[in-house]
Structure 1
Amino acid sequence: MMFALKAIALDDEPPALKVLSSLCKKIPYIDLIQAFTKPSEAYRFLEENTVDVIFLDINMPTISGIDFFKSIPQSSMLIFTTAFSEFALEGFNLQAIDYLLKPITPERFEQACQKALLYHEKILNTPEQKNLPEYLQIRADYSLHQIAFDDILLIEALDDYVKIHCANGKPIVARMTLKNLQLKLPEKQFIRVHKSYIVAFNKIKALRNRMVYLPNFEIPLGPTYEKVLLTKLKGLD
C-alpha cells in the first residue's frame, strides 16, 4: 500500500466538505480520515489523534480558522480552504503549506497536496538524513518551535498542557496531552516513567528508592512503568 498523509478537514459548510472529500479521493497519498463541521469536535479529535495535514476553512461562525489553528495541540501541516483572499498574509504567517481559494479546482488542489508531500519528505523527515539534527516540532505561544531531541531532559503533564524541560533554555508549555506528545518522540530516546512524566533515557543519572534522577530533577517512578524501565536499563549491561 502506498504511503499516505493522514488528513482531516474542518469547514462549517457540509457541501464544501463533500467537495474536499471528492478531491482527496483523487490523490492517492492523501487519506482524509475525518471531516468536521464543528471546531469543537475537530479539536477533541486532535487531542487524541495525530494527523499530518489539516484542510481548514477560515470564515466560520464560532471561531476563525486562524484562531482554531493557533489553539490546536499539535503541529500538523496546514492548508487553508477559503472563499476570502484577504486572510492570505496571516495564513502564510502561520507557515501554512498553501492557501486555496474556493471554488477549488482539482489541479490547484493537487498542487497544494504535492507541496505537503514534499514538505513532509524533505523537511519533517530530515532526522532520517545523515548528519542532520533531530527535532521535535510543536506549536506553543502562537509559534512553531523546533526542539532538538538531544536537548530535552523531561516532559511533564500539567492537566491539558505539557511542559518540556530542556537542558538549554527555558521550558516550553504547549496545549497537548502527554499521550499525544509521546507519539512524536523516538522510542529509543524517551521513556515514560510516571503517568505525568516522560524522561530522556540517556539523561538518567541514577535510579533509587523509586525515584529517577536527572540533571537538576528528581522524578517519581510510577509502579506501572517500573518494570519497563528496569528492563531497558538491564539491556545496557
Structure 2
Amino acid sequence: MKLTCYIIDDEPLATEVIASYIVATELIELKGIFLNPLKAFQAIHDDPVDLIFLDIQMPKISGLDFIKSLKNPPAVILTTAYREFALQGFELDVVDYLLKPIPFERFLKAVDKVQRLTKDYPLLAQDRFQDEFLYFQKDKVNYKFVLKDIIFIESQRDYSRIISKDGEIKILQKISELEGKLKNKGFLRVHRSYIVNLDLVDRWCSFELGINGRNIPIGRSYYKMVAEKLNR
C-alpha cells in the first residue's frame, strides 16, 4: 500500500519538481499541494497523511515552526536551499532533508528512508494518535471521545452509533464522514456499516472479526484491505 503525502512549499516551481518525481516513481500517493502553510495545517488535521515534503523558508511561518505547531506530525522530509538549517531539522526528528535544486536520485533515497522506517515500525502511524481525541455532537452538546477507547462505529443510515469503552452515543453524521476523520488513525472500515479500532481486534476470519466480545461482519469488497492491515 502506498504512503500518502502532501507537498508544502510556497515556490510553485519547487512543488512541480517534487510532484513530477512522485508521479515518476509511483512509490507514494500525492494527496495535495499547498503554497500556503496555514491551509496545509488544516488539511493535516482534517485528512492526515503519512509524509510531508516541507519547505523551510516560507512566509508567515517557517517550516521548522510549522513542525513544532503540529501535535502529531507525520514523517517529514525538509526541502531547503539552505544547508545550515539541516541540523535544526534533525533535532525535530525529521526523516531527511533535500537541498534544492533536488536531484532525482537524492529524492529516491529520502523516500526509501521513509518506507524502511514504516516497514520496520508498522504501528508507528497509529502510535502518533494514541492520545488523540475527537468531539462528537448530539443535541447541540459536544462529547469528547479518546480515539484509542473507541471500539467500533456502526452506521444507521444518516446516523452513526459510536461504541467506546466508556459507553456509546448516536450522532447525526454518516459513517462515510467519520471514515474520513479517522483515516490513518488506527481505524478501518471493514463493512459498509462498520468501522473498527484495529488495536482491539482479537480474532478474525474471512467473513467476520471479533472485537471486545462482539462479532462484526467483514464485507466482501473490504476483505482484501482487512486482511492486509491485520496481517501486518
TM-score norm. by structure 1 comes to 0.59
| Distance 1:16-1:222 versus aligned 2 partners, 3 A rule | same
Give me the whole-angstrom Cα distance separating, in 2, the residues matched to 1:96 and 1:164.
30
Q: What SS does the corresponding residue of 1:54 show, helix, strand or coil?
A: strand
Once the two structures are superposed, the pairs formed by residues 83-98 of structure 1 within 5 Å of their partners are 83-98=81-96
| Divergent runs of 4+, >2 A | 72-75, 154-158, 162-165, 189-193, 198-201, 221-225, 232-236
Structure 1 residues 122 and 200, CA, compared in 2 at 3 Å: closer, same or farther? farther
Task: Quote the residue 2:151 is aligned against.
Answer: 190
Identical-residue share of aligned pairs (%): 33
Cα distance in 1, alignment partners of residues 57 and 134 from structure 2: 35
Kept in 1, the 8 Å contact 2:9–2:36? The answer is: yes
Q: Compute the displacement of 1:199 (Å).
A: 7.7
Aligned partner of residue 34 in structure 1, secondary structure: strand
Within the candidate set 68, 71, 79, 2:69 is matched to 71
Quote the residue 1:41 is aligned against: 39
Give the direction of change, closer, same or farther, for the CA distance of 1:53–1:81 in structure 2 (3 Å limit): same
Q: Alignment partner for residue 235 of structure 1, among 206, 214, 217?
A: 214
CA–CA separation in structure 2 for the residues paired with 1:90 and 1:200: 40
Displacement, 1:164?
A: 8.8
Give the RMSD, CA atoms, in angstroms: 3.7
**Structure 1 residue 19: Cα displacement:** 0.8
The alignment status of 1:117 with 2:115, answered yes or no, reads yes
Matched residue SS, 1:78: strand
Q: CA deviation at 1:72?
A: 2.7
Deviation at 1:57, TM superposition (A): 0.1
Given candidates 43, 48, 51, the residue that maps to 1:50 is: 48
Shift of 1:85: 1.1
Structure 2 counterpart of 1:137? 128
Q: Distance in 2 between matches of 1:92 and 1:82?
A: 13
Q: Secondary structure at the match of 1:87?
A: helix
- The counterpart of 1:7, out of the listed 5, 15, 39, is 5
In the alignment, which of 23, 29, 32 is matched to residue 31 of structure 1? 29
Instruction: Measure, in 1, the Cα distance between the counterparts of 2:114 and 2:55.
Output: 17
Contact 1:47 1:73 in 2 (8 A): no
Name which of 93, 103, 106 aligns with 1:105. Answer: 103
- For the residues of structure 1 that align with 2:63 and 2:171, how far apart are their CA atoms? 40
Corresponding residue SS for 1:6 = strand
SS in 2 for 1:95: coil
Aligned to 1:59: 57
Number of aligned pairs?
169
2:35 and 2:20 map into 1 onto residues whose CA distance is: 16
Q: Who is 2:14 aligned against?
A: 16
How far did 1:135 drift? 6.1
Q: Compute the displacement of 1:74 (Å).
A: 3.4
TM-score normalised over the length of structure 2: 0.60
Output the amino acid matched with 2:214: G
Partner of 1:143: none
Structure 2: runs of 5+ lacking an equivalent = 137-142, 155-161, 173-193, 195-210, 216-232
Residues of 2 paired with 1:81 and 1:163: CA distance? 37
Counterpart code for 1:13: E
Residue of structure 2 in register with 1:224 after alignment: 171
